[in-house]
């Protein structure tokens, strides 16, 4: 195990393990329509994928706190019913998650999606069992910023006596890079998600495909 470059791995979900955009953007369109608001265009809706949803309702839609909480209520009901399953695994990611587990490397999900839908999604793709722990946003969204999710993942891994001497984050958005950096953790960015090269500027490395990511993880 000492020959591997990293002793623990934190994995983002949307845009890293799964292409979740169809279910998220469809649910967002439903939410805006239910609120009597104009539905943003497809490119704008895609910008909601990745960051904490309440932050996006505030920063992108200009909603008040009450409006955001109402939007979240509508969004969650629809997403848990339909949207969470409107996603696909990126080719090779299911096998990579399995191989990380088989290599004995502690593995935590680290997503700004609440833990319930995140867990349901991983179970849907039959890969939940490969994760040491599943860490996401709290149900009340008080833990949703990526830095806070990473902090919780580290607490849970440490409680399991995981070796955290050389952890790494794997994600597709700037929120992953910055959230991990807040704890001194490097990020490997992946190009198949929803981020762009500017968002990956401070990543320790960028993987063009899953084979490249395997190499960077020493698998």
> Is there a catalytic annotation at residue 196?
no
Q: Which of 161, 181, 156, 157 is nearest to 169 (CA)?
A: 181
- Dihedrals phi, psi of 127, to nearest 5 degrees: -125, 0
Per-residue b or e along 120-151, where b marks 16 or more CB atoms closer than 10 Å to that residue's CB: ebbeebebbebbbbbbbbeeebebbbbebbbb
Identify the active-site residue in 12, 14, 19, 172: 12
Instruction: Please report, for residues 19, 175, 203, 217, the alpha-carbon distance to residue 187 in angstroms, rounded to integers and kept in the order given.
Output: 19, 10, 5, 11
Length of the chain measured in residues: 219
Q: What is the DSSP track for 30-66?
A: HHHHHTTPPPPPHHHHHTTSSS-HHHHHHHTT---HH
Burial class (CB in 10 A: 0-12, 13-18, 19+), 4: middle
14 secondary structure, DSSP code: B
Contact at 8 Å (CB) between 185 and 169?
yes
Annotated catalytic sites, by residue? Answer: 12
């Amino acid at each position: 195990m000492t020959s591997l470059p990293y002793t623990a791995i934190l994995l983002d979900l949307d845009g890293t393990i799964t292409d979740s955009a169809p279910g998220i953007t469809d649910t967002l369109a439903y939410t805006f329509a239910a609120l009597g608001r104009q539905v943003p265009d497809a490119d704008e809706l895609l910008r909601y994928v990745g960051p904490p949803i309440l932050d996006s309702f505030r920063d992108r839609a200009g909603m008040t706190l009450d409006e955001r909480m109402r939007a979240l209520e509508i969004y969650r009901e629809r997403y848990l019913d339909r949207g969470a399953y409107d996603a696909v695994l990126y080719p090779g990611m299911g096998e990579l998650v399995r191989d990380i587990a088989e290599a004995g490397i502690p593995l935590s999900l680290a997503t700004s999606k609440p833990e319930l839908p995140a867990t349901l999604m991983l179970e849907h793709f039959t890969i939940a069992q490969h994760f040491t722990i599943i860490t996401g946003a709290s149900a009340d969204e008080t833990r949703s910023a990526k830095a806070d999710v990473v902090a919780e993942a580290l607490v849970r891994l440490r409680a399991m006596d995981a070796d955290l001497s050389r952890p790494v984050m794997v994600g597709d958005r700037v929120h992953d890079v910055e959230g991990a950096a807040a704890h001194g953790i490097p990020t490997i960015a992946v190009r198949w998600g929803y981020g762009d090269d500017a968002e990956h500027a401070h990543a320790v490395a960028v993987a063009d495909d899953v084979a490249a990511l395997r190499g960077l993880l020493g698998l």
